[in-house]
Structure 1
Amino acid sequence: MPNYNFFTYILTNSSKTVLYTGVTNDLGRRLYEHYFNTDSKNSFTSKYKCYYLVWLERHQYIDHAIEREKEIKGWSREKKAKLIEQENPLWRFLNKDIMEWPPILA
């Protein structure tokens, strides 16, 4: 099986009150899609304006990334917050570390 980069990630809104967990093989593209609501105007991230990356984890295999996403989605908000704070105690928005932010509509 070839090596790839897959990511499990957590987004939040500007007030850091809502959390969204997802998985992707292209984090920059996925952040762009969330920001411009390319999935659906009725999507969770669009409805709650979850555009801000606060946590990510790289995986070599997609099945590991999906397993981790499912695991995290089953957690309480408190447990997710503890996970975020282990790597990002100030809940700094990490988007600029990944791509130009805010993104420019191409």
Structure 2
Amino acid sequence: MAHDPEDSDKLTYHYPRRWHEYFTSFQNGLPNLSCFGFGTSTLWEQNKMPFENEWNLADELTEERYCPFLGEFVWYPFHLSSTAKWPDCDQHDLGALKALYQAIGQGTNMG
């Protein structure tokens, strides 16, 4: 955690782990994993948690998977922050997620 160089009243936090690291950890560290979901749901836009539709997710890696925290408990899209940079790991994330799905025998509609 550090002060934002453009606004010393705000704090920024950089967390170096990326989703592909988690997907690989799940694949290697959870040998009995048989079902996994990662994606989005339109129900979240309506402030509803879709527990009854938990497997009705759109398989996609959206920008929201990486959001900078810039103080005041507000998450900002990357385009609103000049100090936060989008992690350059889209292909790593996609490859690791596909490998996880394949390892557990679960199909996906992700290209």
Which has the larger Rg? 2
Q: Shared fold (TM-score greater than 0.5)? A: no
